[in-house]
Structure 1
Amino acid sequence: MGIKEVFKTTKPVIGMMHLMALPTDPKYDPQGGIQKVLNRARADLQALQEGGIDAILFCNEYSIPYLSDVHPVTIACMARIIGELMSEIHVPFGVDVAADPMKTYDLAAAVGADFIRETLCGAYAGNDGISDVRMGEIERHRIEVGCRDILTLATLVPEGARQLAERSIEEVAKTVTFSLAPSALLVYGSTAGSSIDGSLVSRAKTATEIPIFASNGVRADTIEDILSLADGCVVGTWMKQEGKFYNPVDSTRVAELMGKAKAVRGDL
């Protein structure tokens, strides 16, 4: 199925479910334990859905700094949390295990996710060091674990990183489309919550017919401009209380954002 069939709308707005730190993560709270993570996730899920979000993306966002080979306990905990919330999820949902594409597909297979978001190709340098994403192995693993038909939202260039072999956004979009044919391509700003460069969205769209999503920097005051260019977006930080990364989701901010998104789409 395609974007519109899964998300039930054009230009979908995907809300981030930033899971609190999990066992072995530096910021994990062993006294609060997994129950604390689950309680926060349940409250954020309710706020996102009350605000009218189109879809939800579960991610171990607070596992900072991220691993390229994520510990098995991380996906085990994520699977438990999603499983316990499953009956309360009323919109399409996806998963992203930062920063491990293989385990993202493992988790997606386990919980029956509708889509994934990941960096699926390329070689980059950034705060986490050198990242070499082995596209061929990842794509074969996707098929092996039964995720052939899942929607794939693929990063063009990850936030906070530079390509080792610097290429234009047009060339990256064209080659990723040819090699992977993902469901959508993601354009990022430089850091979480930072504004994207709208020209990058426009340039990527000249090189491919695959939908282009804005993957961060989405706010109530930018979403109209972003959705005038992009085919959808992912939003996280702005929906939090006071717009702060580590705060819980604020349903009133979600509703404000979605009201403007629906006006752009003509849903109202």
Structure 2
Amino acid sequence: MRMFQEGKKLVVGMVHLHPLPGSPRFDGNLDEVAEAALEDALALADEGVDALLVENYGDVPYLTRKLPLLTVVAMAHIVDLIKSKIVIPLGINVQFDAYEAELVIATVCKGNFVRIEGFVDTLITDTGLVTPCAAECLRLRRQGGGEKVAIWADVQVKETQPIGNRNIVAAAVAAAKNLADAIIVTGSATGSAPAAKTLKEVKAAVDRPVLVGSGLTPENAPELLAIADGAIVGTALKTGGRIDRRKVRRLMEVIRKL
């Protein structure tokens, strides 16, 4: 399924899952988690986003790389449910940088892409150190027969501190060299946008689609999407923790005019 098209800006809506089994805040009702996720997914699809990205957003504090099997299976169940009800592309993001879980869920549930935070960066997170996983990730994808699953790689992702003095442009070049299918650029924190200057530099340096990974709003969309090929949007589309159709509609109206 071809996702990036000349002249069109790809809009990916986040489906933020409530806490899953195996995480500290799970309330014991997986059916309610699944129902809320499906409602948000359908709202995003109905209002015209081009793709969805399902994330275990409520599982804070996040484990790095390894999750309980119970959590992975529960997430796969919800992804499969959403996939059965929508026709637009679907991606998987398992926090934090749990590339094995992402690729397995995407392969089994016929997802289209995964988002990987530590593809080429060594990162300090709130709950541990993450080292680059590009080599392992690509081998796992080949082993599982999931070559159709695209890898979207963050570079120096939000809410982390990269180790070393390599700048974000060099990190993006490394991600492209190591076969990432798209590059994601974020601000420093959830809800903060990357600088237009940074987006320009990354876009000029790589031969891959470049996406805004955080902080896109109707106000800054014209500037940022004049540079980037698309955006992943979550916080700006929510009210009270749930998808707000009016906010989705407003953002899509702005983007369609670009």
TM-score (norm 1): 0.90
- Preserved contact between residue 11 and residue 231 of structure 1 (Cα < 8 Å): yes
Alignment length (residue pairs): 255
- Preserved contact between residue 57 and residue 96 of structure 1 (Cα < 8 Å): yes
**Pair 1:24-2:53 in alignment:** no
Give the deviation of 1:206 after TM superposition. Answer: 2.1
Q: Structure with the greater relative contact order (CA < 8 A, sep ≥ 6): 1 or 2?
A: 1
**Pair 1:56-2:52 in alignment:** yes
Question: Hey, what does 1:260 align to over in structure 2?
Answer: 254
**Pair 1:115-2:109 in alignment:** no
Give the deviation of 1:9 after TM superposition. Answer: 7.2
Give the deviation of 1:200 after TM superposition. Answer: 1.1
- Preserved contact between residue 193 and residue 216 of structure 1 (Cα < 8 Å): yes
Q: Distance in 1 between matches of 2:203 and 2:177?
A: 14
Q: Distance in 2 between matches of 1:141 and 1:111?
A: 16
1:74 corresponds, among 71, 95, 111, to 71
Question: Hey, what does 1:172 align to over in structure 2?
Answer: 171
Question: Hey, what does 1:190 align to over in structure 2?
Answer: 188
Question: Hey, what does 1:140 align to over in structure 2?
Answer: 139
Question: Hey, what does 2:224 align to over in structure 1?
Answer: 226
Unmatched runs of 5 consecutive residues or more in structure 2: none
Question: Hey, what does 2:43 align to over in structure 1?
Answer: 47
RMSD value over aligned CA atoms? 1.6
- Preserved contact between residue 170 and residue 206 of structure 1 (Cα < 8 Å): no
Question: Hey, what does 1:65 align to over in structure 2?
Answer: 61
2:237 corresponds, among 239, 242, 263, to 239
Give the deviation of 1:88 after TM superposition. Answer: 1.5
Q: Which amino acid aligns with 1:259?
A: E
Distance 1:3 1:86, change over 3 A: closer
Give the deviation of 1:10 after TM superposition. Answer: 2.3
Give the deviation of 1:2 after TM superposition. Answer: 4.7
What SS is found at the alignment partner of 2:25? coil
Q: Distance in 1 between matches of 2:73 and 2:105?
A: 8
**Pair 1:87-2:84 in alignment:** yes
The superposition leaves residues 163-204 of structure 1 with CA deviations (integer Å, 9 ceiling, x where unpaired) of: 211211221111221122x22100011111112211111111
Q: Distance in 1 between matches of 2:23 and 2:194?
A: 29
Q: Which amino acid aligns with 1:43?
A: E
2:207 corresponds, among 206, 209, 230, to 209
- Preserved contact between residue 21 and residue 27 of structure 1 (Cα < 8 Å): yes
Q: Please say which of residues 60-69 and 77-86 is displaced more in the overlay.
A: 77-86
The superposition leaves residues 25-83 of structure 1 with CA deviations (integer Å, 9 ceiling, x where unpaired) of: 112111xx101101111211121122111110011111111112111112201111122
Q: Distance in 2 between matches of 1:28 and 1:155?
A: 28
What SS is found at the alignment partner of 1:229? coil
What SS is found at the alignment partner of 2:226? helix
TM-score (norm 2): 0.93
Q: Distance in 2 between matches of 1:40 and 1:50?
A: 15
Q: Please say which of residues 130-139 and 206-215 is displaced more in the overlay.
A: 130-139
- Preserved contact between residue 210 and residue 228 of structure 2 (Cα < 8 Å): yes
What SS is found at the alignment partner of 2:242? coil
Unmatched runs of 5 consecutive residues or more in structure 1: none
What SS is found at the alignment partner of 1:133? coil
Question: Hey, what does 2:153 align to over in structure 1?
Answer: 154
- Preserved contact between residue 193 and residue 212 of structure 2 (Cα < 8 Å): no
Q: Please say which of residues 100-109 and 202-211 is displaced more in the overlay.
A: 202-211
Q: Distance in 1 between matches of 2:99 and 2:120?
A: 10
**Pair 1:38-2:37 in alignment:** no
Question: Hey, what does 1:199 align to over in structure 2?
Answer: 197
- Preserved contact between residue 60 and residue 97 of structure 1 (Cα < 8 Å): yes
Question: Hey, what does 1:249 align to over in structure 2?
Answer: 243
